[in-house]
């Protein structure tokens, strides 16, 4: 699929049907290498190239937030040599992509137990997070030493501590309050979750956050995943009807109401401005 074709396909998708937040479970590096008679580390290295392609493509598509499941809490149980190689790849990525991240206004954030990462990774990671903190382009979130169950447990502990200390009433605990205790609280709701390599499970990733996300599974191994594959996932997402518990009729009615509001949006805004102006004038005369 050529660049022109990709751009035309994306241009045909209404803005309201584009996902704001995309998550990716990057799977298949080891199997990609095994099928080629290569060591698993070769697959991870090629997977790092796929990260570069997908980050660049996501930014150009206007995606607001991209979360990559880079290293899970359970990945620490892999052979030490493989873990070390993954940490080296992460360090290299941070140095090699630093300029592109900063020059393109990308904000780097993380979720997970970053303190468990080796110092030679934490130092460049925290430096780039700090350097990109004021950027207002795409939010690139790396899930590192991350587990969905683990984050839910930590959020629960935080809520319990606040209740125990008298800072929070049980009656005040709701979805918003609980979600605000998760490390993903600053991100938009996840709209689309992609998993590569043909596996069809979420593997302890963003368990709370994907409650209403659309799930997309592809047979493509992560090292082969690129702009065209991401485009196919977004086209599939855009064609789905997201009901959030409502009926199709209700969804259609809501869409019609939004169109009416958008068409008439300028008039109410003008009336509001005039009303505020008149109110301000009356207040001014009253003070006089």
Q: Which is the catalytic residue, given 39, 75, 135, 204?
A: 75
CA distance 285 to 283: 5
The answer to whether residues 46 and 29 touch, using CB atoms and an 8 Å cutoff, is yes
103 is catalytic: no
Q: Which is the catalytic residue, given 4, 12, 27, 204?
A: 27
49 is catalytic: no
Residue positions annotated with a catalytic role: 27, 75
């Amino acid at each position: 699929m050529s660049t022109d074709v990709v751009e035309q396909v994306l241009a045909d998708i209404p803005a309201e049907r584009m996902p704001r937040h995309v998550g990716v479970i990057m799977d298949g590096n080891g199997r990609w290498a095994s099928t080629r008679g290569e060591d698993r580390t070769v697959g991870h290295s090629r997977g790092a190239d796929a990260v570069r392609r997908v980050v660049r493509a996501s930014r150009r598509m206007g995606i607001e937030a991209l979360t990559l499941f880079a290293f899970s809490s359970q990945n620490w149980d892999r052979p030490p040599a493989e873990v070390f190689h993954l940490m080296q790849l992460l360090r290299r990525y941070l140095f090699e992509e630093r300029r592109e991240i900063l020059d393109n206004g990308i904000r780097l954030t993380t979720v997970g137990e970053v303190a468990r990462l080796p110092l030679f990774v934490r130092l460049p990671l925290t430096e780039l997070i700090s350097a990109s903190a004021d950027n207002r382009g795409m939010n690139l979130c790396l899930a590192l030493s991350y587990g969905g169950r683990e984050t839910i447990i930590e959020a629960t502990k935080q809520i319990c501590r606040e209740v125990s200390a008298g800072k929070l009433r049980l009656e005040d605990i709701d979805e918003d309050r609980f979600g605000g205790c998760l490390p993903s609280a600053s991100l938009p709701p996840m709209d689309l979750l992609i998993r590569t390599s043909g596996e069809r499970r979420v593997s302890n990733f963003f368990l709370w956050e994907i409650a209403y996300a659309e799930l997309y599974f592809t047979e493509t191994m992560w090292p082969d995943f690129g702009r065209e594959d991401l485009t196919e996932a977004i086209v599939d997402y855009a064609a789905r009807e997201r009901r959030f518990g409502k009926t199709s009729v209700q969804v259609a009615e809501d869409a019609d109401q939004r169109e009416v509001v958008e068409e008439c949006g300028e008039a109410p805004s003008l009336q509001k401005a005039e009303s505020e102006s008149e109110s301000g004038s009356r207040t001014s005369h009253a003070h006089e």
